Structure 1
């Protein structure tokens, strides 16, 4: 992978599918080989456009199939994808996305500090994971604080299932439903799955 500098004001990170932000042991996810690199079988590259806060993201979901890293999905949370796609392509040409994804996910997997920062961001949804200063409290996010009860996880699971049935990204739908960051929604989905409210196959 060639060294690449991110354009000014872009922030990017990555994490494996189903990553549990509350775990302390940070066990390794299921990995696949891409060239000479081992990466998770599925993971997301998360990009915050210039001027955005951490409720506004472009998400690229990658999967490994037959030794190749494939971009399976590109969607937006809190920003208009149609509005930002031209900015994304101009600042980060599509031919760089694969190498950027590999760089970020291998950094995540090999850096305990990055994992700890990622866990903190999953819990607080405000920490910048690359060690930069924490962002200001995002505008437009629900100020309601949620207790992680069985009833709450049941609502999360119901939202997740409805999104699956509708063919929309389920974790994104949870984030939008409750007005929280994608990383917080992912934490709740993981808790609902561990509670048996969401099947492991989904």
Structure 2
């Protein structure tokens, strides 16, 4: 952890997925902000240790019982995180801001919000729901579960959080695992390669699998790289525009062309010269190009 993000002695920082000092709502949606997932609204607490109180369930709450307590409300708008409100308990906001700015500089509040909210989400995933540190975990979306039943009967919002967080973690792991090293040979983006990308994409879409993810898995590439290849295939008219099904793309011969390309290029079938030439001629008659030839 970056030492500059730690609370100084005698203070504590924490983030929670709801507006500060409000009734507990349903869990907000998780949205992507840059490379991370965040709730579409949440708040950061900056308070002295003496302001925290232990509740009956063993969790802790903070509500300005001792010292300056600052609640900072954040909201994601058009893909960017904004701080839209500062609130305090019992003391005037100007007085609290003056005291807190000596503990955590205002230019770091947004970074602190992202950091501590991300920590909360990691714990949410690890504990299968609201973490023990969350004093609202006794609410309707928390249940005492058997270890063998980590999902239990959680409401839809909590299940969606777990699915999104686990998906993001898997994607990040795959990206890190498959990221090319400086010594790894780069893929040459030829028309033949993009036709292979388009083929994998179409087959995945026809089978109901996430097509860009399947392209990434097939070529053992990061998801972001696969997305660039798919975009290049679209520009070359090998795939339809985004939002249009790639299945047939208005072409009744698309499936047969894919099948022929697979037989000639990827099936490793031992074809006689006569049979290969026959299939190549059929492919060309359907408007396809013989794999491996760009002329």
Task: Name the one with the larger strand percent.
Answer: 1
* Structure of greater Rg: 2
TM-score, normalised to structure 2, is 0.35
The structure whose RCO (Cα within 8 Å, separation 6+) is larger is 1
TM-score, normalised to structure 1, is 0.50
